[in-house]
């Protein structure tokens, strides 16, 4: 068995969860926060048989899109002045960040 950990954008999560549920996958949804943007994203835990991993990833690819996001970062203008000036940074946030890990043991009690 495998555990798929998928970090997706909040906007994509509701539809993705619906489709995965319709396809009989069990899901746990966690509200998470990206370390860089410090804004909300969604982490899904999906436990599946090994043979189903590719199908789940295919569904995630289909329903999660990459988007540009703008964030503000403080920058030290000069070392001598020591002044922090905020500047905007545009980043491309991926459709999904996916980890597939081995599950040593799975039990429901
Ligand atoms: P965040 O950490 O908020 O990152 C959002 C986007 O900002 C990233 O998109 C990337 O394009 C950019 N970014 C992240 N760190 C950066 C840095 N040090 N310098 C410049 N740009 C940076 P994605 O790579 O698609 O990641 C989306 C979200 O997936 C991340 O949100 C984070 O929550 C998660 N994530 C990505 N890689 C991860 C990893 N290796 N381990 C754990 N979580 C990860």
CATH 3.30.70.120 fits 2-102, yes or no: yes
Q: Give, rounded to a whole angstrom, the gap between the first and last alpha carbons of the chain.
A: 17
pTM: 0.90
Mean pLDDT of 14-41: 96
DSSP string, 84-102: EEEEEEEEEE-SEEEEEEE
Residue 42 in contact with residue 98, Cβ under 8 Å? no
Residue 4 in contact with residue 17, Cβ under 8 Å? no
For residue 37 and ligand 1, the question of a CB distance below 6 A is answered with yes
- CA–centroid distance, residue 32 to ligand 1 (Å): 12
Give pLDDT, residue 91: 93
Give pLDDT, residue 65: 95
- Helices 13-22/53-63 angle, 10° precision: 140
Which pair of tokens denotes residue 13?
């999560």
pLDDT at 10 over 60: yes
For the CA of 39, the nearest atom of ligand 1: 3
- CA–centroid distance, residue 40 to ligand 1 (Å): 12
Mutate to test the pocket of ligand 1, among 88, 91, 95, 101 (most ligand atoms within 8 A of CB): 91
Nearest to 14 by CA among 54, 55, 42: 42
- CA–centroid distance, residue 17 to ligand 1 (Å): 21
For residue 7 and ligand 1, the question of a CB distance below 6 A is answered with yes
Query: What is the distance between the alpha carbons of residues 76 and 82, in angstroms, rounded to a whole number?
Result: 6
Q: Where are the domains of the chain?
A: 2-102
pLDDT tens sequence across 40-97: 999 999 999 999 999 999 999 999 999 999 888 766 555 566 777 777 889 999 999 9
Q: How confident is the model at residue 105 (pLDDT cuts 50, 70, 90)?
A: very high
């Amino acid at each position: 068995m495998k555990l798929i950990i998928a970090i997706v954008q909040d906007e994509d999560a509701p539809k993705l969860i619906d489709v995965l549920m319709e396809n009989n996958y069990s899901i746990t949804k966690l509200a998470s926060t990206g370390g860089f943007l410090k804004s909300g994203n969604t982490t899904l835990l999906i436990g599946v048989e090994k043979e189903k991993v590719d199908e789940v990833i295919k569904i995630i690819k289909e329903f999660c899109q990459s988007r540009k996001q703008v964030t503000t970062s403080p920058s030290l203008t000069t070392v001598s002045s020591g002044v922090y000036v905020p500047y905007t940074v545009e980043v491309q946030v991926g459709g999904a960040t996916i980890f597939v890990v081995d599950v040593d043991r799975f039990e429901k009690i």
